[in-house]
Structure 1
Amino acid sequence: MDINNLIIENIANPHELERMFRKEPEAFKKSFSSAWEQNPDSQVLAVWYERLHFKETTNTEKASLLQKNFLSMGILAVLAGISTRIILHFVEQQAIAPINLVFGILPFIAAYFVLKHTPKKNVLYTLISLFLISGFYLNMLPLEQKDSIILAYLHLPIFLWVLLGLAFTGNEYRIGSTRLAYLKFNGEFCILYASMAISGMLLTALTMQLFRFVGMDISEFYFKNVVLFGAAALAIVATYLVSRNLKLSKNIAPYIAKIFSPLVLVTLLVYLITVIWVGKNPFLDRNFLISFNGILLSVLAVTIFSITESGTDEKKNISDYINFALIILALIIDSVALSAIVFRLSSYGITPNRLAALGINILIWANLIWIMISYMRFLQNKTGPLAIQDAVTKYLPVYGLWAAFVTFTFPLFFY
């Protein structure tokens, strides 16, 4: 039977029409025109007509916005590369601290967010003033390797990261879902940046080898003027691509979270059992205590990454139980680290490093308790996943405030 007649006979059978289309799409399209001419009043065929002949109208306003964002990205990427290279020059002259290199990248990412979603004047003025104050204050500090100065260098990027979150969220900085989107952006940004950086490394290796073939060593020039420029500019490009909902990073991030979380859990369990077996003591071994805190921060980062990529599905799955186990593990590590820090403070006195470690461990411990309670209620079907995400997003400013406190006060109190 002619497929045209089959289409007419099955007008009231959408399942059969769909089956026919999937089986022979080209034949279906050719025969559809005749069926449509014979039944111009059929609503079913009208829907199929739009489906087969639909052409998305060009949205000139959207196209111009994309062109504007692309142009902004290009200009900011070039400025970031140039600024980073200029800052490196002064770092090499030992006129400023190497940590100033963050000002070659983060302000330009913030500028991209501001240009994309123009915030209110109070948010904009806050961003500009805090970036300027941070840069001015940082370069007023003496270039000395004192503990309080080093702590300021270590905490400044954390403060600027939270400040970058303000630029990302803009006028919606109080909304939890927007803060969560910022955390997701960070995960997707890291995945995309790492992927592109690997390609850049391969290009660098190829370039080095090609010039070695002709007896030239351009490594120093290339790293200072090309690699550094590219690394800074690439951060702006990655920001643009992630903000354009690039499918690569968005599709791969949840899978990385699901695969990486159980691997981290198993690895850390084996590591902690080994630590107990060999008798390592964070109360007496300072270096081991530092590594213990490093493990804690890693577990916290992996847990937050997993939570942000878990979505808002009300159904529990194995990933939720793994995340909950990671949180319990992080709490155990943090409790041991806190006890060791308090012991060292009472035994050896107050130092900037011990005080900073105590502060951040207390903050992390409180955050983990909040996340753990939220997760317990979720696993008991008392709340949804939104409560867990709130425990993560609402606590972010606390880390920023602590980082600002250490950065701006420790060099004054402990100089």
Structure 2
Amino acid sequence: MGFNNMIIENIEDPNELERLFREDPKAFKKAFPHALEQDPDSPVLAVWYERLHFKEAANTEKTLLLQKDFLIMGILAILAGVSSRIIFHFVELQAIAPINLAFGVLPFIAAYFVYKNTPQKSVLYCLAVLFLISGFYLNMLPLNYKDSIILAYLHLPIFLWGLVGLAFTGNEYGKDSTRLAYLKFNLNFFVLYASMAISGMLLAAVTMQLFSFVGLNIEEFYFRNIVLFGAASIAIVTAYLVSRNLKLAKNIAPYIAKIFSPLVLATLLVYLITIIWLEKNPFLDRNFLIAFNGILLGVLAVTIFSITESGSDEKKNISDYINYALIVLALIIDSVALSAILFRLSSYGITPNRLAVLGVNILIFANLIWIMLSYMRFLQNKPSTIQNSITKYLPIYVIWAAFVTFIFPIIFN
């Protein structure tokens, strides 16, 4: 009870009470209730009571919130897994297109973001209506492999990705910082999901091998029921973990961006020198032009993620010069691709594929010019907002994806 007496004796000396607490917090907390019993009306002890118990209350509230978040995540993960399995059943029957599997995952990720950051009703209604219209419209399209239909299938996930972004940003959908946070979320999501998917594949391989030892072939059953369900539900779990600022993904993502940038730059330089040496011509070789555009999209993705992870407010380093070189290289590739597409349009006429590729190449070219000029100002030590050249342009990609998804099948019916 010695500590108790010391608290009472020094009740008018805040400095000494603080020293006693710091000297032995456990003994102070243990003796405090006895001191409070002796002088229950003391305002000093009342303040200390709140101080000693506030952290516990905060932790309790945080624990309850985590439990609720975990429960919501679990429900959405199960719903995503079940929905994906049901959709896959109808895909197997060839009643609907395989792209419908996107509706087994993305709406549930959006629902989790809406729960985490409830937007105003106009945003909520917009999300619900656009998801419903997308699903209804997609399944009104004829189940064939016409170019315009395939293009709609390819661009729909980009449009839905934009809707998930709207759910993520909520009421702050117009803020560049929130859009940038969404881009960072995507990189962290990819890192963590890939890690979990690899672990899942290893588990699946071990499981099927174990069952094969007892003469049971469960590959088809395991894929249709376990793997598919797991792939969908893990996406929701990953969104939950990344949104909880999981350190694994948060720490790894910047290093991946920094490692991949120089590797991609070196690989592309060697590749471009090789195709020039072999005299490959994207103007005449359709498959080569498609590959060229695929390379362009890959370079754009790596560049965007490198920029979002580096930030324009930091001091210049080697990564910035590598990023700038990647942007210039991407502009060269896009210029060649645009020239080849215009040549094929003038020589062979308009088709849905050529028009879609032309549109996306023009959009990327304009975006790359903006990024390059912003980066140039940054490297010259002038005021620049490189990240804004990315975040402000994101809606344009989503609008183009919506145009191809919903309008192309009507125009090229």
**Are 1:40 and 1:46, in contact at CA under 8 Å, matched by a contact in 2?**
no
2:329 corresponds to: 329
- Per-residue CA deviation, residues 272-324 of structure 1 (Å, 9 max, x unaligned), is 00010000000000000000000000000000010111135431111111000
Aligned pair 1:41/2:39, yes or no?
no
TM-fit CA distance, 1:61: 2.8
Aligned pair 1:391/2:386, yes or no?
no
TM-fit CA distance, 1:65: 1.8
1:25 corresponds to: none
* Cα distance change of structure 1 residues 50 and 106 upon mapping to structure 2, 3 Å threshold: farther
TM-fit CA distance, 1:63: 2.2
Structure 2 counterpart of 1:395, one-letter code: Y
Structure 2 counterpart of 1:116, one-letter code: K
2:365 corresponds to: 365
Structure 2 counterpart of 1:57, one-letter code: E
CA distance in 2, matches of 1:316, 1:225: 50
TM-fit CA distance, 1:45: 5.2
**Are 1:191 and 1:249, in contact at CA under 8 Å, matched by a contact in 2?**
yes
SS of the equivalent of 1:142 reads: coil
Q: How does 1:284-299 map to 2 (within 5 A)?
A: 284-299=284-299
SS of the equivalent of 1:238 reads: helix
* Cα distance change of structure 1 residues 217 and 361 upon mapping to structure 2, 3 Å threshold: same
Q: How does 1:168-179 map to 2 (within 5 A)?
A: 168-179=168-179
CA distance in 2, matches of 1:76, 1:395: 31
SS of the equivalent of 1:41 reads: helix
CA distance in 2, matches of 1:323, 1:43: 56
1:30 corresponds to: none
SS of the equivalent of 2:15 reads: coil
**Are 1:324 and 1:372, in contact at CA under 8 Å, matched by a contact in 2?**
yes
**Are 2:311 and 2:387, in contact at CA under 8 Å, matched by a contact in 1?**
no
CA distance in 2, matches of 1:296, 1:154: 17
CA distance in 2, matches of 1:41, 1:268: 66
Aligned pair 1:413/2:411, yes or no?
yes
TM-fit CA distance, 1:42: 6.5
CA distance in 1, matches of 2:375, 2:16: 53
Which stretch of structure 1 is more off in the superposition, 236-245 or 312-321?
312-321
1:374 corresponds to: 374
1:340 corresponds to: 340
* Cα distance change of structure 1 residues 49 and 306 upon mapping to structure 2, 3 Å threshold: farther
1:12 corresponds to: none
Structure 2 spans left out of the alignment, 5+ residues: 1-5, 29-51
SS of the equivalent of 1:309 reads: helix
SS of the equivalent of 2:140 reads: coil
1:20 corresponds to: none
Structure 1 spans left out of the alignment, 5+ residues: 1-32
Structure 2 counterpart of 1:41, one-letter code: N
Structure 1 counterpart of 2:402, one-letter code: A
2:215 corresponds to: 215
CA distance in 1, matches of 2:225, 2:363: 41
1:257 corresponds to: 257
CA distance in 2, matches of 1:51, 1:380: 54
Aligned pair 1:201/2:201, yes or no?
yes
**Are 2:312 and 2:386, in contact at CA under 8 Å, matched by a contact in 1?**
no
CA distance in 2, matches of 1:306, 1:91: 37
Identity %: 76
1:166 corresponds to: 166
TM-fit CA distance, 1:41: 3.4
Aligned pair 1:57/2:56, yes or no?
yes
CA distance in 2, matches of 1:261, 1:192: 19
Structure 1 counterpart of 2:56, one-letter code: T
1:101 corresponds to: 101
Aligned pair 1:185/2:178, yes or no?
no
- Per-residue CA deviation, residues 194-213 of structure 1 (Å, 9 max, x unaligned), is 00111101100010000000
**Are 1:261 and 1:306, in contact at CA under 8 Å, matched by a contact in 2?**
yes
SS of the equivalent of 2:163 reads: helix
SS of the equivalent of 1:382 reads: coil
2:246 corresponds to: 246
Q: How does 1:66-77 map to 2 (within 5 A)?
A: 66-77=66-77
Structure 1 counterpart of 2:317, one-letter code: N
**Are 1:191 and 1:253, in contact at CA under 8 Å, matched by a contact in 2?**
yes
Which stretch of structure 1 is more off in the superposition, 288-297 or 47-56?
47-56
